[in-house]
Amino acid sequence: MNLKEVKYNKYALVKEMMETPEIIKSFKPEAAAKFAEKVKSEKGLFLTGEGSSRIFPAKRAISSLLKKNFTFPVMTDGSTQAEEYDLKDLAVFAASNSGQTKEVVRLTSKLKKQKHPAVFGLTANKNTKLEEIVHSTHILNCGKEDAVAATKSVIEQGLFYDALLRMMHGEKMEGLKELAEKTEQALTLKIDAGITEIIKKASIIYFAGRNNGVAEELALKTNEITRKKSAYLEGTFAVHGIEEVMDKHEVVIWVEPFASEEEKFNECLVKGVGLNIIAVSTKKTIFPTIIIPDGGQYAEYVQLAAGWNILVETGISLGINLDKPTRARKVGNEYIPE
């Protein structure tokens, strides 16, 4: 996709996606400094929120941490379920772009009543209900999103958590200029028309991949952008029983396939079910593959951008108004003052 053609630039969604490289380039890791020591003084960190404000930012942070020799525990769950947890020894970061998400407001209000000492907010707006409740709030610099589907804000939320955890462990956050360039490459890659046609015709679009927020977030974006049914198949879940009810009219988009499992996916899903598998990878696979730049330690951001590109191409080929879904709302479940 690009901003030179009317079929793309008439949509706020595309414009906001294309703002992402500059947001990455201008991100200031030191923004997390005032939170780092406060979080580090607790026994762990709990990241909460709903939908896009939690899926990629929180799960990417946890996955990244587990690859390093960092022993500080980081966990995540939705805010309503979190009301059932004992969070008194954990720092809590609640993300809500609007700052008005009902579930987040309810959880943080409960923690405030319990006199929890370390509850923080992450929003894209000033003077919100969330900011009023928590001890301190970081306001994103990405600016307002007009499209219903959250995009650029998701990336900045991810960067903030990334910066926070690195700062806590004495690690510098470097290479953002290169990440911005690779993200732009992923956003502007030309998607083969044959691949778009396969995805366009599919009755269900599955996203398979690691539990790092990428494939799961793209499954959500599939609903909002293409108006098609989707599901997230974690890890190798796609060959652990669900193949029994899959059919040839569906498609699996596999983000950075596990090389050791390609043959099994091919045997069970391509040969067994008769469906198509599309790979999104830094290298060729045995499936039709969309080759993307290698983001290294920041690979997930590049993968997410490539997924957006695929979904925009699919939505446009379906003749959908990318900015105006029928039922989905910018704030899914909004807090309404009594």
pLDDT tens digits, one per residue of 130-182: 999 999 999 999 988 999 889 999 999 999 999 999 999 999 999 999 999 99
pLDDT of residue 338: 64
The radius of gyration of the chain's CA atoms, rounded to the nearest angstrom, is 20
CATH of the domain spanning 6-175, picked from 3.40.50.10490, 3.40.190.290, 3.90.79.10, 3.90.280.10 = 3.40.50.10490
82's enclosing H/E stretch is helix 79-82
Tell me the average pLDDT across 31-49.
97
pLDDT of residue 334: 76
pLDDT of residue 172: 94
Beta carbons within 10 angstroms of residue 228's beta carbon: 19
Which of the residue ranges 203-207, 219-223, 287-291, 332-336 would you say has the lowest mean pLDDT? 332-336
Which of the residue ranges 1-5, 96-100, 192-196, 325-329 would you say has the lowest mean pLDDT? 325-329
pLDDT of residue 239: 97
Q: Do domains 6-175 and 190-291 have the same CATH topology?
A: yes
pTM for the predicted model, two decimal places: 0.96
Q: How confident is the model at residue 330 (pLDDT cuts 50, 70, 90)?
A: low
Superfamily designation of domain 190-291: Glucose-6-phosphate isomerase like protein; domain 1 (3.40.50.10490)
The structure tokens listed for 152 are 């650029």
pLDDT above 80 (res 83): yes
pLDDT tens digits, one per residue of 243-280: 999 999 999 999 999 999 999 999 999 999 999 999 99
Q: Describe the strand order of the beta sheet including 91-95 as a list of residue ranges.
A: 74-76, 45-49, 91-95, 119-123, 136-139
The CA–CA distances, whole Å, from 7 to 59, 290, 310, 312 equal 33, 22, 15, 10
Task: Name the residue ranges covered by the structural domains of the chain.
Answer: 6-175, 190-291
Share of the chain above pLDDT 70, in %: 99
N- to C-terminal Cα separation, the chain: 44
Residues composing the chain: 338
Tell me the average pLDDT across 173-199.
97
pLDDT tens digits, one per residue of 234-243: 999 999 999 9
Tell me the average pLDDT across 19-28.
98
Apex 1 CA angle, 300 and 303, nearest 5: 10
Please give the mean pLDDT across all residues of the chain.
Answer: 96
- Regarding beta strands 229-234 and 74-76, do their DSSP bridges make them parallel or antiparallel, or are they unpaired? unpaired
Q: How confident is the model at residue 221 (pLDDT cuts 50, 70, 90)?
A: very high
